[in-house]
Amino acid sequence: MNAPAYNFAYLDEQTKRMIRRAILKAIAIPGYQVPFASREMPMPYGWGTGGVQVTAAILGRDDVLKVIDQGSDDTTNAISIRKFFAKTAGVATTTSTADATVIQTRHRIPEAALHTGQVLVYQVPIPEPLRFLEPRETETRRMHALGEYGLMHVKLYEDIARFGHIATSYAYPVKVNARYVMDPSPTPKFDNPKMDNCAALQLFGAGREKRIYAIPPHTSVVSLDFEDHPFSRYRHDAPCALCGAGDSYLDEIVTDDKGSRMFVCSDTDYCEGRQAQGHRGSESAAPHKERAHG
Amino acid sequence: MYVAVKGGERAIENAHRLLAHERRGDREVPELSLPQISEQLSLGVDRVMTEGSLYDRELAALAIKQARGDLIEAIFLVRAFRATLPRFGATEPVDTGKMQIRRRISSTFKDIPGGQILGPTFDYTHRLLDPQLAEGVTPEPPATSDAPSGAMPRVTDILGRDGLIEPAPRADDDAPVGDLTREPLSFPADRDLRLQNLARADEGFLLALGYSSQRGYGRNHPFAGEIRLGEVEVEFMAEDVGFAVPLGSITLTECQMVTQFKGSATQAPCFTRGYGLAFGQSERKTMSMALVDRTLRARELGEEVLAPAQDEEFVMSHSDNVQATGFVEHLKLPHYVDFQSELGLLRKLRKEFAEANETLPMQEAAE
Amino acid sequence: MAEREAQDNDQPLLMAENLGKSYGGLMACRDVSFALYPGEVLAVVGESGSGKSTLLQLLSAQLAPSAGRVSYRMRDGVMRDLAKLGEAERRFLFRTDWGYVHQDPAMGLRMAVSAGANVGERLMAVGWNHYGKIRDSASSWLERVEIDTDRIDDAPRTYSGGMRQRLQIARNLVTEPRLVFMDEPTGGLDVSVQARLLDLMRNLVSELGLAAIVVTHDLAVARLLSHRVMVMKGGYVIETGLTDQVLDDPHEPYTQLLVSSILPA
């Protein structure tokens, strides 16, 4: 039987070259979706194949990789992807945002500010910000080419007419480098401002939809809004119950069936870091123990 | 006191072990072998090869075993493996005209040169569950005869000789063949990419679309011009020796649909065609593929695009079952961060709604 | 607006020269030439099959001519051959300097989106970014086309045919175009609704100093709206002149036939 032998980080060098060319083109045109020939990967489409291909194409032996999903290093898919790279690339992995050189993420931007030299790789399900307004790819490509974003404006206007607010809470569209409208991936709008003038390189990979896009460091990223209905971040108004942080995005944890809930930092590294420095929230009287799990 | 949930890694390992255990099932029951799957579930293997885009019966059988019989999961395994294989070139186009025919039928003529050959088919069986099969049965040896000596020209070639059917589209021999696995698809798609997309497409999806066209959603009056099953030689042009080297033979099913005739001011009317090709014995797939190939030519043939089966972007964007299942099943992944945002927005809107409605009754009272 | 008129009234706004369109052996229209001046309304009348709809498509650059050309004077004063415009330029013209009123308002509106958004879209496309101001502008245009401003948040799906047509007109006029194309603008509406709509259109056209090309099979529409009329038959322009003159004293037998077929009121 044909037994497979895998290259460093799984992809063969030709494929990596193809992806890197797409990445370079994306960096040269911030916010523009570059089509690329996405490969079949050993995890399903929709589960991060785009992000994995981008990471595999840029990873070097000396890189330090962090993988998070919903802000946590310990969610099942983040673990699965981290193990994949540990196995196929043998790179060092970490949970520390500060120590990582490459961070692959699904649905969150880390709370700690990123620095020069880091790369943030986003997993993207639907790269096209106009997709739910116009299902045809042929049409949306034309709209981007001509800078015709009337359809998006109409949607925002309608939201305000109907709800009094722009009714988008995640995957909130942004204008990149004052030219292309882009979908930041399903990060909560709370994270949008972090993309603006960021010191790190931001890369976006959509495997199933076969698109790569990028925001070079220190590029302007502006969330769409109206002058009289300016963009506002949503964050549950409470400190983290574990570390007391008042400026991080919080997860709501349902603790019993009588409606009790508590709010905890979604970024586990950020929260643990604060706790290690001595910060405490209302629910954290002592250092936590691992709960026994089957 | 709340403690953050940890242990995801251990949970995954345990889940893998449990999966392997379930896959094996009752240890008293003999384990399936790959030859058993390849020989006795051969149509499943044919489908996995076709949609997996890889001709290797043993690997497809392994994939089916590993996937516990879930054919789409098996197709995924084959595709992922295929993606790692080095590519050293393209074969010469196979000549289905030279096929070693085991089955060949045409519904357009009562009799054709070479005859109608039923071959191994479920057609005309009575769908009565056979308890004998449950025990295990040694079937009678099939009837034999000499191999057909006469020519078996394709029905579409017969029609073509008199110009009754549009000629098979000739591709530019020097132009490279498009490859979906190497370049992303864009619309409008040329014939080579369209056929590649349909060959890899989910059988059920194409079946439903083909069916819809027969029921009026983009009808093109199809007739099964010819369906043939058999072995064809695969050859590869070896630059060093300067001639094509045979690599072996594969089993193919080919379907040519003869469809609604068309003419124009400058061209006499003639039948149009739809084409289907698949690995192994895959009639449902090739017939559906031929129907949809034809419906997707609506724009090319100047027909109004009204039905889903005629909508190129719709059909070709949603035909890949590996992509489809990936995205549908990804909903199982955690989405709680975004859900949190939605909850926040919803709570805000509900609060405003309640406040707005609170004031109204008071106004009425004031009046 | 008056200032602009004074500057460029002497120069044609749109010019057709030997314009023709054929499909294979079929000739849809041939040898059409005319000049349209700012503030002038030209009606193109004829029966179905006369070529008038094809002509409108050619003049609005939605179809490429098989012969001849169409030129338009851009806001910078330069006369441009429409066939040579890039797609981006053409689409920009369509959104700002031109209007196009379809016979079926559903073709020219976003039916599932509110009236306010429909009217505001062009403003947002040219950079308006203040919700309140967009809404106010939309509201005042609704008033101008005699739609109750309470309906600003309703989608045109909920509007009557006449209201939809008036909304379509508002959507087109909000960027103060210089030229409006109209394809059977009152077709399909009740006679009384038509009359009211024609009145509105005539007032708006004259208030805003619009030039317009109106395709219609209805001579009454031509009479009410246009300064000049072109009569088409079998793809050719068979008669042209001042509307009142042509309709009161038609020269061509076909025109006489058309005129005499108007049922007396």
Cα–Cα dist C44/C16, whole Å: 13
| Chain B residues closer than 8 Å to A74 by CB | 5-9
Q: What is the pLDDT of residues B183-242, one digit of tens each?
A: 888 889 999 999 999 999 999 999 999 999 999 898 888 999 999 999 999 999 888 888
Point out the catalytic residue in the list A51, A198, A205, A271.
A271
Residues 6 or more apart whose Cβ sits within 8 Å of residue A259: none
Q: Extract the tokens encoding B68.
A: 């516990």
Tell me which residue in A1, A78, A108 faces B337 most closely, judged by beta carbons.
A108
Under an 8 A CB cutoff, do C25 and B265 touch?
yes
Mutation to test the A interface, candidates B59, B78, B84, B311, most A Cβ within 10 Å:
B84
Cα–Cα dist C119/C167, whole Å: 8
Tell me which residue in B6, B181, B343 faces A37 most closely, judged by beta carbons.
B181
Under an 8 A CB cutoff, do C114 and A227 touch?
no
Secondary structure (3-state) at B361: helix
Write out residues 107-136 of C within 8 Å (CB-CB) of A: 110, 113-114, 116-117, 120-122, 124-125, 129-132, 134-135
SS3 content of chain B, % helix, strand, coil (to 5): 45, 15, 40
Chain B residue with Cα closest to A207: B323
What are the CB-based long-range contacts (under 8 Å, 24+) for B68-73?
B68/B22, B68/B23, B69/B44, B71/B44, B71/B47, B72/B202, B72/B321, B72/B322, B72/B325
| Chain A residues closer than 8 Å to C122 by CB | 150
Rounded to the nearest angstrom, the minimum Cα separation between B96 and chain A is: 28
Tell me which residue in B58, B80, B337 faces A188 most closely, judged by beta carbons.
B337
Amino acid at B172: D
E strand or H helix at C27, and its extent?
A: strand C26-36
Question: What is the ipTM, given to two decimal places?
Answer: 0.84
Q: What is the pLDDT of residues C53-71, one digit of tens each?
A: 899 999 999 889 999 999 9
The answer to whether B225 touches B273, Cβ cutoff 8 Å, is yes
Rounded to the nearest angstrom, the minimum Cα separation between A14 and chain B is: 10
pLDDT for position C17: 95
Write out residues 91-130 of B within 8 Å (CB-CB) of A: none
- Cβ-based burial of B117 (10 A; exposed 0-12, middle 13-18, buried ≥19): middle
Rounded to the nearest angstrom, the minimum Cα separation between C25 and chain B is: 8
DSSP state of A226: B
- Asked if omega into B35 is within 30° of 0 (cis), the reply is no
Q: Extract the tokens encoding A271.
A: 């929260």
Write out residues 197-256 of C within 8 Å (CB-CB) of A: none
Catalytic residue check, A198: no
Size of interface A-B (CB pairs under 8 A): 179
Closest CA to C15 of C41, C34, C29, C40: C34
Point out the catalytic residue in the list A31, A50, A51, A205.
A31
pLDDT for position A287: 47
| Chain C residues closer than 8 Å to B264 by CB | 24
- Cβ-based burial of A168 (10 A; exposed 0-12, middle 13-18, buried ≥19): middle
| Chain C residues closer than 8 Å to A161 by CB | 114, 116-117, 135, 152-153
Under an 8 A CB cutoff, do A242 and B8 touch?
no
| Chain B residues closer than 8 Å to C25 by CB | 265
Under an 8 A CB cutoff, do B5 and A291 touch?
yes
Placement of tokens 């069986």 in the chain: B125
Under an 8 A CB cutoff, do B2 and A242 touch?
yes
Is A161 an 8 Å CB contact of chain C? Answer: yes
pLDDT for position B366: 45
Residues 6 or more apart whose Cβ sits within 8 Å of residue C20: C27, C29, C30, C31, C32, C65, C66, C67, C68
Cα–Cα dist A111/A21, whole Å: 30
Write out residues 184-243 of A within 8 Å (CB-CB) of C: 226-229
Question: How many residues make up chain A in this entry?
Answer: 294
| Chain A residues closer than 8 Å to C95 by CB | 150
Chain B residue with Cα closest to C25: B265
Residues 6 or more apart whose Cβ sits within 8 Å of residue B30: none
Average pLDDT (B271-300) is 96
Under an 8 A CB cutoff, do C129 and A154 touch?
no
Which subunits have 3 or more CB–CB pairs within 8 Å of chain A?
B, C
Point out the catalytic residue in the list A48, A207, A265, A281.
A265
Catalytic residue check, A265: yes
Q: pLDDT digit of tens for each residue in chain C (265 aa)?
A: 444 544 556 899 999 999 999 887 788 899 999 999 999 999 999 888 888 989 999 999 988 999 999 999 998 899 999 999 988 888 889 888 999 999 999 999 999 899 999 999 999 988 899 999 999 999 999 999 999 999 999 999 999 999 999 999 999 999 999 999 999 998 878 888 888 899 999 999 999 999 999 999 889 899 999 999 999 999 999 999 999 999 999 999 989 988 887 654 4
pLDDT for position A290: 39
pLDDT for position B2: 58
Under an 8 A CB cutoff, do B264 and C25 touch?
no
| Chain C residues closer than 8 Å to A146 by CB | 87-88, 91
pLDDT for position A3: 55
Point out the catalytic residue in the list A207, A243, A273, A281.
A243
Cα–Cα dist C125/C95, whole Å: 8
Q: What is the mean pLDDT of chain B?
A: 90
- Phi, psi for B214 (deg, rounded to 5): -70, -30
Rounded to the nearest angstrom, the minimum Cα separation between C20 and chain A is: 29
Output the DSSP codes for A148-181.
Answer: --HHHHHHHHHHHHHHSS----BS--EEETTTEE
Chain A residue with Cα closest to B11: A294
Which subunits have 3 or more CB–CB pairs within 8 Å of chain B?
A, C
Residues 6 or more apart whose Cβ sits within 8 Å of residue A186: A107, A125, A170, A171, B335, B337, B338
Cα–Cα dist A238/A235, whole Å: 8
Q: Considering only CA atoms, give the Rg of chain C.
A: 18
Chain C residue with Cα closest to B264: C24
pLDDT for position C21: 93
Cα–Cα dist C248/C250, whole Å: 6
Cα–Cα dist C194/C189, whole Å: 6
Tell me which residue in C87, C120, C122 faces A157 most closely, judged by beta carbons.
C120
Closest CA to B330 of A131, A210, A84, A207: A207
Placement of tokens 């403690």 in the chain: B3
Cα–Cα dist A98/A273, whole Å: 11
Other Cβ atoms closer than 10 A to A95: 18
Q: What is the mean pLDDT of each run of 10 residues along chain A (294 residues)?
A: 72 92 98 93 89 97 96 92 92 96 97 97 95 87 91 92 91 96 96 98 95 98 96 90 94 87 94 94 60 37
Cα–Cα dist A6/B33, whole Å: 27
> Residue B280, by phi and psi: left (phi above 0), alpha (psi -120 to 50) or beta?
left
Catalytic residue check, A243: yes
Write out residues 14-43 of C within 8 Å (CB-CB) of B: 24-25
Percent of chain B with pLDDT over 70: 96
Write out residues 114-173 of C within 8 Å (CB-CB) of B: none
Is B265 an 8 Å CB contact of chain C? Answer: yes
Rounded to the nearest angstrom, the minimum Cα separation between C220 and chain B is: 35
- Phi, psi for B213 (deg, rounded to 5): -70, -35
Under an 8 A CB cutoff, do A288 and B82 touch?
no
The answer to whether C222 touches C46, Cβ cutoff 8 Å, is no
| Chain B residues closer than 8 Å to C24 by CB | 264-266
Closest CA to A39 of B79, B52, B200: B79
Q: What is the pLDDT of residues B121-144, one digit of tens each?
A: 888 888 888 888 988 889 899 888
pLDDT for position C160: 93
Chain B residue with Cα closest to C23: B265
